Amino acid sequence: MTGILVIGEMAGNAVTKQTLETVAAALQLSVELKQPVSGALFGAGDLAGAAAQFNCGFSTLLLVESERLEQYSAQQSVTAALAVIAKLQPSVLLLPHSARTRDWAPQLAAKLGSGLVLDCVNVVVGEDGLAAVKPMYGGGVWGQHVVHGEPAIITVRAGVFDCAKPDAGASIERLEVPNLAPNPRIEHLETIVNEGTDGQQLKDAKTIISGGRGTGGQENWHLIEEAAAATGGAIGCSRAIVDMGWLRWNHQVGLSGTIVAPELYIAVGISGAVQHLAGISNAKTVVAINNDPDAEIFKRADYGVIGDFKEVLPAFIEHVKGYAK
Amino acid sequence: MHIVVTVKQVMDPIIPPSHMAVDASRKQVVSASGAPAVMNGYDANGLEEALRLKQVHGGKVTAITLGNESARNTLKRAVAMGADTAALLCDPQWQTLDSFGIATVLAAGIRKIGKVDLVLCGRQASDSDGGQVLYWLAQLLDLPVVSPIIKIEESGADALVVHQLMDEECQRLRVELPALLGISSEINEPRLPSPKGAVIATRTMIPVWNASTLNVGQVAGKVTIKALDIQVRTGQAEIIEGADGAARGRALADKLHQLGLL
């Protein structure tokens, strides 16, 4: 088996940014392994547009188009992946790490008996073979994991690699996959889209304003909302806020929430638990506003403001609005 | 309904990296804080959910763990919370198993227990953050698997209606029993052991099942740990100064504007 395969993901009709980051990881690995990179996309409808965005230095690009793939099911993804793997025989499979891949990639690994490491920040080639670097212990420890079996399966964390650039190199082939069907023992009843989101995905947000326990109460939360509106940012929060029922889980930043990679992350009243810091490890610039000068967040932040956010944020918001004019 | 909950004893996740160390082989993390090990948080959510299902349907809850002799403490806690029985899967040759190896041993333990209607696992462990043991376990036991679960909406004798958390939505699914679910923290708040439970736990015999009890030998892994490195943060933020909070707020806006971030 030879070659590196990337199976991409789509949001609507476009490939996700994280998919292109995963291609960049594959291209880097391709230089070290001296093996070509191929790609595959699964989806309903015509995938030609998405394929054009995804076609970055590939030797082959396979499309699995089926109306059955309109609705996600792990078993369908596994069936499609098995067909692509059977055709291309890759030695390594890289996937963007997402809610879907963390669900179906382990089921694929279990079917193939392949080694798998989820949510990695790097893949390197050493004398023992392929090693995936994975944050553990809530991000406090990084582990190098040697992955056995072919294909070795690795999911890549968002925001670590820069996006690969499309070059329209490979010719596109369509692959018919028979027997695409969900697990008969799991029936899909409904997809519940979150009410109360502004539609801005935390994962792709350029700016995030996040509040934690230190914001003190729901009566102060409007300051977080106003700061988000003034900066054009998305609203995030720590786990404490979700546990107290102020915001729904889809706003939670952290290891068990969303791992984010914004240009600017402003943490308000967040102490900086390890699990939260793991969620912002790829944020470019981190600002902390906290009245406790010893808060752990100040060790991660690039800029810190020590003080009461109820005094800091209103002046900050007014000043930011001034720039916008 | 017989529910098996897999629990793992882990280093307390509140311990910061500055209080961790790796051993000489760089393959194991040790705590330098002296804080006692705890039950993995997501597993505690799994146990709580099992106890709630038992309240509705009756039946039995069994907690199992794979670990060394000290992991007995976590099983005692599970019994004190309300688990009916527990078993410790312990053998020197199982000390460095990967996810597949752990699942192989757990599967043998669950087969020994007999007829099981539901297996609940935490969605991942807070030490290894692996997130794949439950899927290997489902494959080995031929059970349908869904994870991470944030709600069990309905439970009947032959199926459950569950909510699976995705990136931007939830999937509402009907899963036939027997099944395996990975449980996430949104689902419930785990109870604390009651004083009565603590007494029961001291009196409950917890059997040890080893490689010969379960007829499982050395398992060839799929993934090997080569080296672990502690990520200690030594950085310190540049502090934005100002006469009062409002002045610092304005200075922060200026700084971010200069950096082109606003």
- Complete DSSP assignment for A189-218: EEEEEPTT--S--GGG-SEEEEE-GGG-SG
A74 against A217, higher pLDDT: A74
Confidence of residue A305 (pLDDT cuts 50, 70, 90): very high
Residue corresponding to tokens 């698997």: B145
Q: Quick check: A195 pLDDT over 60?
A: no
Instruction: Give Cβ neighbours of residue A233 (< 8 Å, ≥ 6 apart).
Output: A205, A206, A207, A208, A209, A227, A262, A264, A266
Neighbours of B30 (CB within 10 A): 10
The answer to whether the Cβ–Cβ distance between A193 and B169 falls below 8 Å is yes
pLDDT at A200: 54
Confidence of residue A91 (pLDDT cuts 50, 70, 90): very high
The answer to whether the Cβ–Cβ distance between B170 and A192 falls below 8 Å is yes
Mutate to test the interface with B, among A186, A241, A297 (most CBs of B within 10 A): A186
Confidence of residue A199 (pLDDT cuts 50, 70, 90): very low
H or E element, residue A187 = strand A186-193
A280 interfacial to chain B (CB closer than 8 Å): no
CATH for the stretch A4-174: 3.40.50.620
Mean pLDDT across chain B: 95
Domain boundaries, chain B: 2-214
Which CATH fold would you assign to the domain B2-214?
Rossmann fold (3.40.50)
Mean pLDDT across chain A: 93
d(CA B84, CA B100): 27
Residues A230 and A324: beta-carbon distance below 8 Å? yes
ipTM value for the complex: 0.93
Mutate to test the interface with B, among A193, A242, A296, A312 (most CBs of B within 10 A): A312
Chain B residues with CB-CB distance to A285 below 8 A: 256, 259, 261
Confidence of residue B72 (pLDDT cuts 50, 70, 90): very high
Can you tell me the mean pLDDT for B233-254? 92
A300 interfacial to chain B (CB closer than 8 Å): yes
Chain segment A12-52, per-residue pLDDT in tens: 899 999 999 999 999 999 999 999 999 999 999 999 999 99
Can you tell me the mean pLDDT for B109-130? 97
pLDDT at A184: 97
pLDDT at B114: 95
Q: Which of A136, A255, A305 sits opposite B252 (nearest CB)?
A: A305
Chain segment A136-194, per-residue pLDDT in tens: 998 889 999 999 999 999 999 998 999 999 887 788 999 999 999 999 999 999 999 86
Domain boundaries, chain A: 4-174, 202-324
- CA separation, residue B248 to residues A223, A299, A307, B258 (Å): 16, 19, 8, 15
Assigned superfamily of A202-324:
TPP-binding domain (3.40.50.1220)
The answer to whether the Cβ–Cβ distance between B135 and A255 falls below 8 Å is no
Residues B5 and B61: beta-carbon distance below 8 Å? yes
Neighbours of B35 (CB within 10 A): 12
